[in-house]
């Protein structure tokens, strides 16, 4: 989230798209309701009318996988009616940047491609002799980003988009009018989204489209604005912050690749540069964060002489995301697998293929509360355990309430929690389990010398205690970072062992450590700030920042990009809910922790302030990206059909995203055989792959079996009654579930055609108290062009009634 949960109450309009928040983020509705009670309006966009829709002022149906068309229609409406916050757009975005005149978009393609990837040759700006970007603040220049954006979305009129998304034209207009009402400077609108738009072959571009819309409305940085990802688990934000992904290091630093042959080369490729003296270009501090991270990893073994042990880091080659790993496993290239807090046998796409991949492992370690489907894949229905040679270890893990530690919520709040009860039986915390694995590995490397390079393992700085004295507080202290020598920074002096108070004080010379620069400031000499629990009152905190409740990265800033909530002279666009404001008399910002200490870009007189800085400090040029040249599949979001789609793309002749990799072209279903759209959904009563909830009797009681939601129209077409058993099949496999016939789901009318969609929960598997068919038997090994997140949300299927099916 750019903002945070309690901030939702500040919105004037809330659009929930690609999320069924009332079901999956139930408590968020508390804050949504507060906004509604104060007069806000709620828009719910979803293929079916959901529990979230019951609270909405406007419900708009849309066909799964067509979000860019939908959002594009709102963008086009805003641009053609001039319902944008022009002053914000000019001041804070790259709308006025002039594009390379050779940049072209033609019939669904953004220029030349080589080996399935764009060359990106002309996705760049015009620069003068000094390297400065040429701009046109009037936004009139035909090469300006603004004019190109306008031209790009001109095709997204309501009538055309309605034929793509299946949303009635009048609903599109209603949504567009309502949401663009937030273009007024004193209004803010927020977007809540989740897996409904990320799990797509163009998921990144779905979110880009929302970002463009929010920038045009001037909603980024505002209280009650922003773009807010509702993360899927209590600590999924923390797990990405701390780099449980292959392509990053903690704090979203880039994972080195084979091209980064030295620390210097790595830093040169990572730290952005700018020719603009008014751009803060915050990431020019990259070397400080990287060196401090290496010092946290390897302590005294990281010295200036060995490039701070940079060569201990593995260099990533290629794509190591979930689908790639399982493909490699299926080819027998991966021999062992450690699985912590995950159940890929249920949660991974193309379950049949992934189960077969597990069959080829030599060993598998699963650490979980229960024997999950992943731990038990070798005894899945239809498998012959005598033919599976994998050695499986099941480690009993402690649940979150049985151990101490931090959870970082969607709003970036690191919240410390205590151990409430002892874990049952032999169950242990993740820290204990990882420590034991590490200590054993280290002993083995010491004894046997190990492979070519034992250093990365034996030299690790392991500052979290040992055995029974393992202490998560020590981990948190290390993540924050410490001064490693006595030294002064500016007019402040620090002693060796002091906690670093903020990442602005981290150093690139090895005199500081920090396990994650974003969390620097979370655990200072004053103590563990994540453990704070002081609430504020509406009187002293009218926009509910709750600055003394837990701790929020970065530097306890609750609203990212908050300087953009003011005009360029530091006056809030919406004074009644100001996130920050600049006090010229005192020469400082008030309100939330501002996005950088610099004064505003302009003086109260309107003149340029040479000591001021641009608002979007994390971008090299300081201006938010309407045009974003960094992605694999285009600088503007463009509608493409999901990889499996029952209809032709009517916006261009490019049917699916050209940058998408198809693992198994023979496994792409044809609409002639599989005419119905399938999508996977969730219920409030079960969590993720059901590993916990399907073993919880009170929850199993509520939703005991898997099912599929079918419209009344499709049910009558297929002669299916509510409660029948039905077989749902794709080119990859078939499952049997109960049919739930509802009228909250309607067929989509696309021009003259009617297209049906069905929705199936993905929580079920063959273990636990309640069992049901694995929905991911149906989903494909297809991922987003940028992130490789699987396309769970749109695939082609067919269904039939099972005669005499099991009751």
Judged by the rule CB under 8 A, the positions of this chain that interact with other proteins are 22-23, 26-27, 29-30, 33, 49, 51-55, 59, 416, 418, 526-529, 531-535, 548, 684-685, 697-705, 707, 709, 721-723, 738, 740, 742-744, 746, 807
Q: How far is Cα 166 from Cα 692, in angstroms, rounded to an integer?
A: 37
**751 phi and psi, to 5 degrees?**
60, -125
Q: Which is nearer to other proteins, 27 or 451 (CB)?
A: 27
Shortest Cβ 155–other proteins spacing (Å): 29
Which residue in the block uniquely carries the two structure tokens 């060569």? 311
Shortest Cβ 77–other proteins spacing (Å): 22
Q: Which is nearer to other proteins, 419 or 787 (CB)?
A: 419
Does an H or E element contain 274, and which? none
Q: Which is nearer to other proteins, 26 or 80 (CB)?
A: 26
Q: Which is nearer to other proteins, 74 or 760 (CB)?
A: 760
Residues 6+ apart with CB under 8 A from 345: 351, 354, 355, 358, 372, 373, 374, 377, 380, 689, 765, 774
Residues 6+ apart with CB under 8 A from 621: 94, 97, 133, 274, 276, 279, 614
Shortest Cβ 716–other proteins spacing (Å): 13
Q: Which is nearer to other proteins, 457 or 547 (CB)?
A: 547
Q: Which is nearer to other proteins, 611 or 721 (CB)?
A: 721
Q: How far is Cα 543 from Cα 581, in angstroms, rounded to an integer?
A: 13
Which CB contacts under 8 angstroms, 24+ apart, belong to 144-147? 144/95, 144/96, 144/97, 144/98, 144/99, 145/93, 145/94, 145/95, 145/96, 145/97, 145/98, 145/99, 145/626, 145/627, 146/89, 146/95, 146/96, 146/626
Encode 314-373 in three state secondary structure. CCECCCCCHHHHHHHHHCCCCCEEEEECCCHHHHCCCHHHHHHHHHCCCEEEEEECCCCC
Q: How far is Cα 697 from Cα 164, in angstroms, rounded to an integer?
A: 43
Q: Which is nearer to other proteins, 339 or 520 (CB)?
A: 520
Length of the chain: 807
Shortest Cβ 694–other proteins spacing (Å): 12
Shortest Cβ 51–other proteins spacing (Å): 5
Shortest Cβ 794–other proteins spacing (Å): 22
Torsion of CA 272, 277, 278, 280, to 10 degrees: 40
Q: How many CB atoms lie within 10 A of CB 740?
A: 18
Q: Which is nearer to other proteins, 307 or 404 (CB)?
A: 404
Two tokens at 171?
A: 């609903």
Q: How many CB atoms lie within 10 A of CB 805?
A: 14
Shortest Cβ 40–other proteins spacing (Å): 14
Q: Which is nearer to other proteins, 306 or 524 (CB)?
A: 524
Q: How far is Cα 216 from Cα 224, in angstroms, rounded to an integer?
A: 16
Shortest Cβ 59–other proteins spacing (Å): 7
Is the Cβ–Cβ distance between 64 and 181 less than 8 Å? no
Shortest Cβ 711–other proteins spacing (Å): 11
Q: Which is nearer to other proteins, 291 or 735 (CB)?
A: 735
Q: Which is nearer to other proteins, 97 or 523 (CB)?
A: 523
Shortest Cβ 761–other proteins spacing (Å): 10
- What are the angstrom distances between the C-alpha of 171 and each of 43, 87, 165? 11, 29, 11
Q: Which is nearer to other proteins, 101 or 527 (CB)?
A: 527
Q: Regarding beta strands 413-417 and 405-408, do their DSSP bridges make them parallel or antiparallel, or are they unpaired?
A: antiparallel
Q: How far is Cα 581 from Cα 603, in angstroms, rounded to an integer?
A: 13
Q: Which is nearer to other proteins, 25 or 322 (CB)?
A: 25
Shortest Cβ 769–other proteins spacing (Å): 9
Shortest Cβ 433–other proteins spacing (Å): 25
Q: Which is nearer to other proteins, 17 or 785 (CB)?
A: 17
- What are the angstrom distances between the C-alpha of 4 and each of 187, 225, 479, 519, 560? 18, 10, 22, 17, 10
Is the Cβ–Cβ distance between 275 and 281 less than 8 Å? no
Q: Which is nearer to other proteins, 496 or 535 (CB)?
A: 535
Which residue in the block uniquely carries the two structure tokens 């499952």? 735
Q: How far is Cα 365 from Cα 388, in angstroms, rounded to an integer?
A: 15
Two tokens at 542?
A: 């009218």
Does an H or E element contain 298, and which? helix 286-298
Q: Which is nearer to other proteins, 707 or 792 (CB)?
A: 707
Shortest Cβ 738–other proteins spacing (Å): 5
Identify each DSSP E strand in 398-535 by its residue range.
405-408, 413-417, 487-489, 492-494, 523-524, 527-528
Residues 6+ apart with CB under 8 A from 228: 1, 2, 3, 8, 190, 191, 192, 193, 410
Shortest Cβ 548–other proteins spacing (Å): 7
Shortest Cβ 683–other proteins spacing (Å): 8
Residues 6+ apart with CB under 8 A from 132: 275, 276
Q: How far is Cα 223 from Cα 399, in angstroms, rounded to an integer?
A: 35
Shortest Cβ 539–other proteins spacing (Å): 14
């Amino acid at each position: 989230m750019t903002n945070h949960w309690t901030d939702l109450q500040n919105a004037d309009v809330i659009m929930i798209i690609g999320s069924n928040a009332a079901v999956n983020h139930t408590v968020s509705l508390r804050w949504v309701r507060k906004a509604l009670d104060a007069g806000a309006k709620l828009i719910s966009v979803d293929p079916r009318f959901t529990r979230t829709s019951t609270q909405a002022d406007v419900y708009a149906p849309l066909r799964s996988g067509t979000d860019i068309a939908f959002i594009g229609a709102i963008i086009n409406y805003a641009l053609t009616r001039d319902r944008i916050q022009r002053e914000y757009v000019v001041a804070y975005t790259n709308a006025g940047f002039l594009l390379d005149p050779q940049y072209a978009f033609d019939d669904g393609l953004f220029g030349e491609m080589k080996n399935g990837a764009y060359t990106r040759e002309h996705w760049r700006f015009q620069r003068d002799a000094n390297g400065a970007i040429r701009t046109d603040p009037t936004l009139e220049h035909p090469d300006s980003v603004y004019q190109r954006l306008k031209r790009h979305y001109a095709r997204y009129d309501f009538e055309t988009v309605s034929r793509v998304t299946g949303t009635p034209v009048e609903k599109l207009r209603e949504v567009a009018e309502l949401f663009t009402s937030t273009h007024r400077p004193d209004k803010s609108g927020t977007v809540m989204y989740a897996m409904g738009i990320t799990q797509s072959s163009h998921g990144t571009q779905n979110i880009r489209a929302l970002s463009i819309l929010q920038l045009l409305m001037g909603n980024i940085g505002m209280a009650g604005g922003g773009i807010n990802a509702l993360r899927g688990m209590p600590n999924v934000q923390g797990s990405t912050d701390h780099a449980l992904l292959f392509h990053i290091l903690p704090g979203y630093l880039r994972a080195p690749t084979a091209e980064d042959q030295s620390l210097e080369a790595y830093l040169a490729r990572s730290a952005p540069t700018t020719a603009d003296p008014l751009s803060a270009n915050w990431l020019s501090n990259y070397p400080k964060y990287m060196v401090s991270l290496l010092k946290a990893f390897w302590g005294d073994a990281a010295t200036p002489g060995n490039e701070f042990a940079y060569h201990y880091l593995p260099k990533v080659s290629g794509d190591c995301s979930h689908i790639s790993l399982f493909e490699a496993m299926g080819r027998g290239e991966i021999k062992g697998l450690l699985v912590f807090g995950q159940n890929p046998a249920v949660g991974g796409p193309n379950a049949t293929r992934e189960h077969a991949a597990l069959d080829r492992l030599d060993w598998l370690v699963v650490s979980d509360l229960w024997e999950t489907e992943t731990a038990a894949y070798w005894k899945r229905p239809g498998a012959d355990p005598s033919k599976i040679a994998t050695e499986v270890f099941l480690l009993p893990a402690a649940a979150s309430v049985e151990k101490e530690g931090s959870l970082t919520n969607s709003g970036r709040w690191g919240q410390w929690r205590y151990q409430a009860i002892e874990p049952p039986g032999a169950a242990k915390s993740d820290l204990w389990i990882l420590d034991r694995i590490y200590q054993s590995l280290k002993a083995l490397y010491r004894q046997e010398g190990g492979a070519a390079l034992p250093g990365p393992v034996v030299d690790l700085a392991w500052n979290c205690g040992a055995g029974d004295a393992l202490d998560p507080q020590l981990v948190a202290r290390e993540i924050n970072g410490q001064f490693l020598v006595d030294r002064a920074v500016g007019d402040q002096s620090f002693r060796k062992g002091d906690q670093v108070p903020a990442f602005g004080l981290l150093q690139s010379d090895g005199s500081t450590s920090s396990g994650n620069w974003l969390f620097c400031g979370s655990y200072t000499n004053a103590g563990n700030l994540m453990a704070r629990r002081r609430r504020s009152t509406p009187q002293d905190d009218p926009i509910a920042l709750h600055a003394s409740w837990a701790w929020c990265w970065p530097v306890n800033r609750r609203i990212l990009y908050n300087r953009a909530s003011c005009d360029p002279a530091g006056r809030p666009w919406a004074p009644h809910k100001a996130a920050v404001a600049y006090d010229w008399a005192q020469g400082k910002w008030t309100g939330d922790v501002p996005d950088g200490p610099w004064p505003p870009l302009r003086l109260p007189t309107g003149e340029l302030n040479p000591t001021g800085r641009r608002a979007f400090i994390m971008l090299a040029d300081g201006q938010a990206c309407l045009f974003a040249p960094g992605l694999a599949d285009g600088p503007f979001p463009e509608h493409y059909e999901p990889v499996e789609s029952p209809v032709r793309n009517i916006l261009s002749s490019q049917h699916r995203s050209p940058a998408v990799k198809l693992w198994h072209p023979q496994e792409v279903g044809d609409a002639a055989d599989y005419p119905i759209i399938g999508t996977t959904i969730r219920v409030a009563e079960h969590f993720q792959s059901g590993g916990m909830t399907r073993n919880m009797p009170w929850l199993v009681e509520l939703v005991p079996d898997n099912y599929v939601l079918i419209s009344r129209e499709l049910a009558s077409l297929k002669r299916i009654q509510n409660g029948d058993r039905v077989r749902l099949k794709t080119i990859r496999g078939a499952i049997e579930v109960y049919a739930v016939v509802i009228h909250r789901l309607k067929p989509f009318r696309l021009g003259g055609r009617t297209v049906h969609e069905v929705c199936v929960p993905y929580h079920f598997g063959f273990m636990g108290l309640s069992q049901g068919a694995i929905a991911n038997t149906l989903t494909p090994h297809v991922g987003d062009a940028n992130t490789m997140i699987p396309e769970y949300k749109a695939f082609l299927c067919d269904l039939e009634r099972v005669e005499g099916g099991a009751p």
